């Protein structure tokens, strides 16, 4: 049987096959795929089943059950498990938290460990709150501290260097407590989108701070070096600065630290200071967590939830994830020890929006909120039941004495935590279902493929209903893709429109209420993005943050349409010079712009950069939409350097005219070195490519209008050019599986 036929036999979508071939399946030394999706699932099932104790009853049957759950797309583990189980690397965890102390030794030990984790395919979370503030005293050197943000840049550079074998990008979470002296600088750290590009950042909120916000009071700022009050800040001023930056760029997010520790199952072991990159997994230093998600769409038959099947899959998935802890090859001995001592797992869901559609329930309804709470309470209960049963078979987690489970009448339990709601960006593509607990990212959108061909992608449930009820047509699907919503199309029956809502058809309040419903019965946290339309105000963002706090959330991430340059450029069918009027069109329905034609005249600036090969003159031109082209002229004519610079200029120009971003240009070129660097300190130029990057930076910093235009125009998925969706606190391309936070 051919690979294509085997994929069809497994009922995998075309997108799923593409993602598996590109990111998951084994390859030989020549880069050729040497396993099928069926082989991959068999490899994973065999490896995880091998962790069953030798005395386990029906051990062989579990391998079959694990295989069937994955091939039926009822349950999938996190990406590292699919990629690495049964392979040489063998690192199966998605997320880790590393400690950072207030010393050079601790900081650079953490950087080394970060590199090892990223090399193995994991993401990392850090709290920088223990590092003394900038300009604080350093007794050992009689100097001053450079502060946590300067060290974050070192972590960011290290992450950029590690490519993780081409399968998963490094991703970091950086958290700073709201009572740290450098908090205002931290809040503003990503106002320039070309820095800290490998970090999500979140402010660690405290109850004391939120109370001060409510009362309009000042609050204490604590120097972590000595634990003393350094000064006071006005809580409202700090809160408003967070709102301003989140409205501008989507960051920082917020994490409610006291709530994380309220639900810390092992407070006697340590305090929770950080989470994984997407914020859903609070972890102690050196802990890792293994995640997996149940496909809720597969739990519905004939318009009814099959609760018995959901219970069976939940228990099997819990057992699977506990086995992952045993099968895992951990990147550090400290992580091995801490993970086995607490045995945290994170079982979550995907396909929630699809389940609601199959049940005929609008996402933005009280009925959906009530059902979300009911479903998660059921899953949490059944997962805990199975963990208790595993404790009977294998023993409880070693750190249970002194934990929240160590009290009269409590049953021993195998896992300190059982449930987490993760983003599921790429595994939901494999399962062909909606991501996590997010609404639909689109009903129909246009994807551009090779040779400028365009494919209309239609949600399979909508296509099925449209054909069954007789209103399907290619023209209608085109209209939906252009408008980005079905809500204003009269040809679609009202009851269908009511159910097929997307992330921009619902209000921010709807997002928060749904997140809160799942959070109430989730051990860890819920990863979700609250989407705002482009004309949302800062007061709208502030109201959502206050609502998140009052509803008991552990954190929240927002994204205002058009506020980040990762957004794709335009909507199908619109003239390219009309893209600035598309603010209210959901980002899911937009597509990359075609290559812009050069007008007869352009305006720009020329920068002289001193390189080791002599002066390099770099001309940057713009059209009315932003950066357009880049030319280079060497002070010394001819030679290899001149030809290489011309090639760089042509490729950069092509990128910009096709929707590429200034940030991406700088990111790819900056820091490239050659044998003839020039200059010192901030003026050091390491190569001609580096000179081009720094000239682009200068241009964008010196021209606020150009910077604003280009930032708002944005770009497409860097891998395939497809539409990028902000969900679960991350940027995800549903066409190819690219994830900014993978």
Please give the positions annotated as active site: 276, 278, 280
C-alpha dist (Å) from residue 674 to 611, 651, 683, 685, 686 = 10, 20, 16, 10, 6
Other C-beta atoms lying within 10 Å of the C-beta of residue 213: 24
Q: Token match 């709530």: residue? A: 259
Task: Determine contact, residues 449/719, Cβ cutoff 8 Å.
Answer: no
* Maximum C-alpha span of the chain: 84
Distant-in-sequence, close-in-space partners of 114: CB < 8 Å, separation ≥ 6? 98, 124, 155, 158, 159, 170, 172
Tokens of 43: 């490899």
Alpha helix segments (H runs only) across 23-147: 37-49, 59-71, 79-84, 104-120
**Virtual CA dihedral for 527, 533, 534, 535, nearest 10 degrees?**
-130
C-alpha dist (Å) from residue 313 to 212, 262, 386, 653, 680 = 45, 29, 11, 52, 61
Task: Determine contact, residues 204/178, Cβ cutoff 8 Å.
Answer: yes
Distant-in-sequence, close-in-space partners of 734: CB < 8 Å, separation ≥ 6? 15, 429, 441, 722, 723, 725
Q: What is the DSSP letter of 398?
A: G
Cis bond before residue 718 (omega within 30° of 0): no
Burial category of 644 from C-beta neighbours within 10 Å (exposed 0-12, middle 13-18, buried 19 and up): middle
Q: Is 583 helix (H, G, I), strand (E, B) or coil?
A: coil
- Closest Cα to residue 692, out of 725, 729, 665, 727? 665
Bridge partners for 725 per DSSP: 732
Q: How far apart are CA 426 and CA 167, in angstroms?
A: 12
- Closest Cα to residue 529, out of 665, 423, 426? 423
Bridge partners for 614 per DSSP: 611
Q: What is the DSSP letter of 587?
A: G
- Closest Cα to residue 252, out of 312, 364, 314, 176? 176
**Virtual CA dihedral for 537, 513, 433, 251, nearest 10 degrees?**
40
- Closest Cα to residue 562, out of 577, 576, 581, 540? 581
- Closest Cα to residue 555, out of 523, 532, 526, 531? 526
Q: How far apart are CA 740 and CA 513, in angstroms?
A: 26
- Closest Cα to residue 81, out of 317, 355, 340? 317
Distant-in-sequence, close-in-space partners of 371: CB < 8 Å, separation ≥ 6? 356, 359, 361
81 alpha carbon, distance to own chain's centre: 18
- Angle among Cα 285, 168, 39 to the nearest 5 degrees reads 110
Taking the chain, what is the end-to-end CA distance rounded to the nearest angstrom? 32
Other C-beta atoms lying within 10 Å of the C-beta of residue 214: 14
357 alpha carbon, distance to own chain's centre: 25
């Amino acid at each position: 049987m051919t690979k294509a036929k085997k994929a069809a036999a497994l009922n995998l979508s075309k997108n799923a096959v593409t993602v598996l071939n590109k990111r998951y399946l084994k390859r030989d030394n020549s880069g050729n795929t040497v396993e099928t999706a069926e082989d991959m699932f068999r490899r994973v099932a065999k490896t995880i089943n091998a962790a069953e104790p030798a005395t386990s009853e029906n051990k062989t049957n579990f391998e079959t059950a694990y295989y069937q759950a994955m091939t039926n797309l009822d349950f999938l583990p996190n990406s590292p498990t699919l990629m690495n189980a049964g392979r040489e690397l063998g690192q199966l965890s998605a997320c880790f938290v590393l400690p950072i102390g207030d010393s050079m030794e601790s900081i650079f030990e953490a950087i080394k460990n970060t590199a090892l984790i990223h090399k193995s395919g994991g993401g990392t979370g850090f709290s920088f709150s223990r590092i003394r503030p900038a300009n604080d005293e350093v007794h050992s050197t009689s100097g001053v501290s450079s502060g946590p943000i300067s060290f974050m840049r070192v972590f960011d550079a290290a992450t950029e260097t590690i490519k993780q074998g081409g399968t998963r990008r490094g991703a970091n979470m950086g958290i700073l407590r709201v009572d740290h002296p450098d908090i205002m600088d931290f809040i503003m750290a990503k106002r320039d989108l070309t820095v800290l590009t490998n970090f999500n950042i979140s402010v660690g909120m405290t109850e004391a701070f939120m109370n001060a916000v409510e009362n309009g009071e000042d609050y204490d700022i604590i120097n972590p070096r000595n634990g003393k009050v350094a000064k006071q800040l006005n809580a409202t001023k700090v809160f408003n600065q967070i709102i301003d930056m989140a409205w501008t760029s989507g960051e920082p997010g917020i994490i409610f630290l006291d709530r994380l520790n309220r639900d810390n199952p092992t407070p006697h072991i340590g305090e929770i200071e950080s989470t994984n990159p997407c914020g859903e997994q609070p972890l102690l230093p050196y802990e890792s967590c293994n995640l997996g998600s149940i496909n809720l769409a597969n739990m519905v038959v004939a318009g009814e939830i099959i609760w018995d099947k959901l219970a069976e899959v939940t228990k099997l998935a819990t057992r699977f994830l506990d086995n992952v802890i045993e099968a895992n090859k951990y990147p550090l001995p400290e992580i091995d020890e801490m993970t086995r001592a607490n045995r945290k797992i994170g079982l979550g869901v995907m396909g929630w929006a699809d389940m609601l559609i199959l049940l005929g329930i609008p996402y933005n309804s009280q009925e959906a909120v009530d059902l979300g709470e009911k479903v998660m309470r059921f899953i949490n209960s059944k997962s805990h039941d199975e963990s208790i049963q595993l404790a009977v078979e294998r023993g409880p987690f070693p750190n249970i004495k002194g934990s929240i489970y160590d009290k009269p009448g409590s049953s021993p339990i195998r896992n300190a935590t059982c449930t987490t709601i993760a983003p599921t960006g790429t595994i939901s593509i494999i399962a062909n279902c909606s991501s996590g607990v997010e609404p639909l990212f689109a009903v129909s959108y246009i994807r551009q493929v090779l040779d400028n061909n365009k494919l209309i992608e239609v949600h399979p449930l909508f296509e099925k209903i449209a054909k069954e009820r007789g209103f399907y047509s290619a023209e209608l699907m085109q209209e939906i893709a252009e408008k980005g919503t079905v809500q204003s199309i009269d040809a679609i029956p009202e009851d269908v429109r009511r159910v097929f809502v997307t992330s921009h058809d619902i209000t921010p309040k709807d997002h928060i209420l749904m997140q809160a419903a799942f959070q109430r019965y989730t051990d860890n946290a819920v990863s979700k993005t609250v989407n705002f339309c482009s004309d949302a105000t800062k007061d709208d963002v502030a109201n959502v943050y206050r609502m998140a706090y009052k509803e008991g959330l552990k954190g929240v991430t927002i994204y205002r349409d058009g506020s980040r340059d990762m957004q794709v450029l335009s909507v199908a069918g619109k003239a390219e010079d009309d893209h600035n009027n598309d603010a209210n069109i959901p980002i899911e329905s937009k597509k990359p712009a075609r290559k812009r034609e050069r007008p007869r005249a352009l305006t720009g600036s020329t920068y002289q950069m001193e390189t080791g090969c002599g002066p390099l003159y770099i001309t940057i031109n713009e059209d009315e939409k932003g950066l357009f082209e880049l030319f280079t002229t060497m002070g010394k004519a001819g030679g290899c350097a001149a030809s290489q610079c011309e090639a760089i200029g042509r490729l950069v120009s092509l990128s910009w005219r096709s929707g590429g971003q200034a940030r991406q240009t700088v990111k790819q070129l900056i820091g490239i070195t050659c044998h003839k660097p020039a200059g010192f300190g901030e003026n050091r130029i390491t190569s001609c490519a580096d000179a081009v990057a720094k000239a682009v930076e200068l241009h964008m910093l010196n021209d606020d209008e150009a910077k604003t235009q280009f930032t708002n125009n944005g770009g497409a998925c860097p891998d395939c050019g497809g539409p990028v969706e902000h969900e679960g606190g991350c940027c995800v391309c549903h066409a190819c599986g690219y994830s900014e936070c993978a």
